[in-house]
Amino acid sequence: MSPSATDSKIDYRTCPLCEATCGLEIHHRDGVVTRIRGDREDVFSRGYVCPKGASLKSLHEDPDRLRTPWIREGSKWREATWPEAFAEVERGLAPIVARGGGAVGVYLGNPNVHNMAGSFFVRPLLKALRTRNLFSASTVDQMPRHVACGFLFGSGGLMPVPDLDRTQHLLMLGANPLESNGTLCTAPDFPGRLAAIRKRGGKVVVVDPRRTRTAKKADEHLPIRPGTDVYFQLALAQVLVDEKLVTLGANAEWIDGLERLPDLLLPYAPERVAALTGIDADTIRRHARELAAADSAAVYGGMANHTVEFGALSAWSADLLNILTGNLDRAGGVMFANAAHSRPVHKRSDPQEHRGGKGFVTGRWRSRVRNWAEVQGELPVATLAEEIETPGEGQIRALLTVGGNPVLSTPNGARLDAALADLEFMVSVDPYRNETTRHAHVILPPPSPLERSHYDVAFYGISVRNVANYSPAIFESENPSEAEILARLALIAQGQGAAADPSLVDELLIGGAIQAAVADEETPLSTRDPAELRAMVRGDSANDRILDVLLRCGPYGDGFGARPDGLSLEKLEQNPHGIDLGPLQPRLPEILRTPSGHIELTPPPIIEDFERLAARMEARAGESGLLLIGRRHVRSNNSWMHNLEPLVSGRPRCTLQLHPDDAAAVGLSTGDTARVRSRVGVLEVPVEVTEDIMAGVVSLPHGWGHDRPGTQMRIARQHAGVNANILTDDLAIDVLSGNAILNGVPVQLERVVQ
Ligand SMILES: Nc1nc2c(c(=O)[nH]1)N[C@H]1C(S)=C(S)[C@@H](COP(=O)(O)OP(=O)(O)OC[C@H]3O[C@@H](n4cnc5c(=O)[nH]c(N)nc54)[C@H](O)[C@@H]3O)O[C@H]1N2
Ligand SMILES: Nc1nc2c(c(=O)[nH]1)N[C@H]1C(S)=C(S)[C@@H](COP(=O)(O)OP(=O)(O)OC[C@H]3O[C@@H](n4cnc5c(=O)[nH]c(N)nc54)[C@H](O)[C@@H]3O)O[C@H]1N2
Ligand code: SF4
Ligand SMILES: [Mo]
């Protein structure tokens, strides 16, 4: 063997598994990963890593991870070649696409925002499918925040993030970053950044029905009755208004709708929401005053501030508090990232010249069966099963899933599980045959994360620092890239057939990105010839070439030679530990896209939701039953990484946590089995009695339930657990956002006598 063949190599790459974007140092030899650790020179993560980052080796090597397409005939699976698999997709899918009218549905799961193919190639595929039956994990997650920000700032993509590294006061609701490493707030080493707030004399407050690891590290923990954060936050806002603590700061001249607030907020005075939330009025008042008095403060909602009743109003309330305390768009408050690949926004010398945009609308179309409004081009995934089951025009007869496991991740999972079995045809782009993809007729597996280049398109837009980091593929794959798989599916959907050349789609996207840049009359690029620019684009894959265009035309870009020091793919390649572009900067008002160009606090849809909230508050006051919530563990990643031994070893984690008082009431002790029942389902699960959860609340993690027949995840099956979404209710949807209500689900408990 030649010496070079056995030399160990080190490559640096960004971990694609969660939103934290940690830098990894990957040691490998002869195509085998020998070691993974945190990259201490990564400009953003500085060596931080969680147990999942190191598990990329197990993921890469997992024998259950699919390396070839699989075709199902009845209940029999067989391996197939790629041409065979695409031909089968054409045979099964093309005639159903041709029917039109939404006969093909699409479900996009979470990993789509963790790879460039999902960011760039899903759009042409959707266009080719011409369907309005689009569903995604967003409506079991953060859609309420898109809606709140959409109404406030004019675009669902304009989401400010807490300026973690400079804030002096952080109020966190429904988030547990010590386990999750954060969401809608990209911050590697979130735990370290929280500790630093306290170290510099700031304060961290955690609102959570459970005393989580995050709560234990905070200055103060406020247990709250699930689903009532909206009332708590509105009460804080009411105090700010009532006690004249509102300070708008630099934004005062572009905030509309303030005059309606005193009336809107009056019903939510602390004394009126104390019983409902479980937080007494004096404590609420004190927190409002502390928020107002802090040198800088950020109110930050995690996924449980959104996946609840009135999730959109809850998200809106958090941003309202940031606005009313003058903390929006200022250092230490909440700020907007400026991603290196985003379209530049031009600063005006006179802010009054700023004109806004088209604004945010929902309901441009509606779901067929229950008439739910479209939001951001999507329908609520809680309606997917009924759209498959209910006959009539527009019924979904074929489904394409890309990187999703809705049987385990969406409400009333058992109903969806049954509905999927009824489809005429299903295709899944997915590396595993799991609870969802076992229903597919064809599974098309993408290469492993180590076999593709990476740049966090989605997360640099919600990052606590402006950073750009690109990682080349470490290993080559003989299989088509995920981009190629999606491009081929697009061509099939378009009627061009399984053998059509996927580079057609690549060129369309690269050309489109160039066109969009030169169409902007305010950039020097507008005078350039697109063909000349195309010739300058570099990159080994279509994703890389699109990225190169975006970076070069972006706010820090080299402008295709105009600013030689600027960013390009090449520049990122020369900086394997990333490029730090500095702390977040104020960006208002130019980025606002509301029709007025102002922040619109109280547009009609928000006012209408307040009417529903008032009615619901009265009804809620009489309710006292047990409520189910979720939880995450640092060694999990939604539903799909339980097949990796290092992440599932140790004590079983899929347990029902409950308070000693609730346990005593039904005679349960740790280790016993409880039967848990909701409106839609029932399951049996071992219990874990703990003082760390408030009375009246039980918690079950999601993403488990790996005992379904026909899957190929052997390790996961040995640690099956139960599917929490057997209990969550597909009829429980937040009206404004279409989001499912996954936290605060009414349940009943009984002891299983064994
Ligand atoms: N280890 C790990 N990390 C992950 C994931 C994972 O599955 N595992 N998933 C990733 C994804 S997709 C996301 S979206 C993020 C989510 O990350 P986070 O937003 O941090 O969400 P969770 O970790 O679920 O924490 C939510 C917390 O809210 C609490 N809670 C439940 N109901 C309520 C309520 O009504 N009010 C309040 N105030 N609190 C409530 C729960 O007890 C829990 O501690 O995590 C990401 N990171
Ligand atoms: N009860 C309850 N339910 C929840 C939550 C909760 O807290 N409680 N959390 C919700 C949240 S925040 C989210 S984001 C959703 C997640 O919902 P989903 O996105 O539906 O579920 P995941 O478990 O993330 O499934 C990811 C799928 O993508 C596949 N995959 C992994 N990597 C890749 C890749 O590179 N390419 C492709 N094509 N596929 C890949 C995996 O094999 C798996 O099938 O779950 C939601 N469901
Ligand atoms: S925190 Fe997230 S990004 Fe960092 S190593 Fe863990 S899974 Fe990867
Ligand atoms: Mo999520």
> Would you say 260 and 607 are in contact if contact means Cβ atoms under 8 Å apart?
yes
Tell me the CA–centroid distance for residue 113 and ligand 2, in Å: 11
Ligand 2 in reach of 115 Cβ (< 6 A): yes
Say what the pLDDT of residue 1 is.
44
* Phi, psi angles (nearest 5°) of residue 644: -105, 115
- State both tokens at 223: 């247990």
How far, in Å, is the centroid of ligand 1 from the Cα of 629? Answer: 10
CA-proximal residue: ligand 2, atom 26 (nearest): 404
Dist. CA 544–CA 486, nearest whole Å: 16
Q: Whose CA is nearest to atom 44 of ligand 1?
A: 176
78, two tokens: 């067989």
Is the whole model's pTM more than 0.85, yes or no? yes
Rounded Cα gap, residues 374 and 670, in angstroms: 44
- List the chain residues with pLDDT less than 70: 1-6
Specify the pairing of strand 32-38 against strand 23-29: antiparallel
Ligand 1 atom at minimal distance to the Cα of residue 633: 1
pLDDT at 470: 98
Q: What is the token pair recorded at 134?
A: 């689009």
Q: Starting from the CA of residue 172, give the closest ligand.
A: 1
Atom of ligand 3 nearest to the CA of 54: 5
Alpha carbon of 167 to those of 189, 199, 464: distances in Å?
16, 12, 11
Tell me if 637 CB under 6 Å of ligand 1: yes
Mutation pick for ligand 3 pocket among 22, 58, 190 (CB with most ligand atoms within 8 Å): 22
Distance 304 CA to ligand 1 centre (A): 6
The residue nearest atom 39 of ligand 1, judged by CA position, is 174
User: Residue 278 C-alpha to ligand 2 middle, in angstroms?
Assistant: 32
Nearest atom of ligand 2 to the alpha carbon of 700: 1
Q: For residue 377, how far is its CA from the centre of ligand 1 (angstroms)? A: 25
> In the chain, what are the helix, strand and coil shares in percent, each to the nearest 5?
40, 15, 45
Question: Whole-angstrom Cα distance, residue 744 to residue 632?
Answer: 16
Please give the Cα distance from 233 to 91 (Å, whole number).
Answer: 53
Cα-to-centroid distance, 638 and ligand 3 (Å): 13
705 ligand 2 Cβ < 6 A? no
Q: From ligand 3's centre to the CA of 412, what distance in Å?
A: 29
Q: Which helix (H) or strand (E) holds 148?
A: helix 143-153
**pLDDT for the residue 262:** 98
CA angle 98, 102, 107 (to 5 degrees): 110
**CA 741 to centroid of ligand 1, rounded, Å:** 13
Q: Which residue's C-alpha comes closest to atom 4 of ligand 1?
A: 180
Residue of minimum CA distance from atom 34 in ligand 1:
226
Instruction: Supply the pLDDT for residue 5.
Output: 56
Query: What was the pLDDT predicted at 3?
Result: 47
Q: What ligand is nearest to the CA atom of residue 55? A: 3
Cβ–ligand 3 distance for 641 under 6 Å, the answer: no
- Please give the pLDDT value at position 4: 53
Exposure letters 384-405 (e unless 16+ CB within 10 A, then b): bbbbbeeeeebbbbbbbbbbbb
Centre of ligand 4 to C-alpha 334, Å, is 21
Distance 21 CA to ligand 4 centre (A): 15
107 Cβ below 6 A of ligand 2:
no
Q: Is 22 in the pocket of ligand 3 (CB under 6 A)?
A: yes
Q: Ligand 1: does its nearest atom lie under 6 Å from the Cβ of 639?
A: no
Phi-psi region of 237 (alpha: psi -120 to 50; beta: other; left: phi over 0): alpha
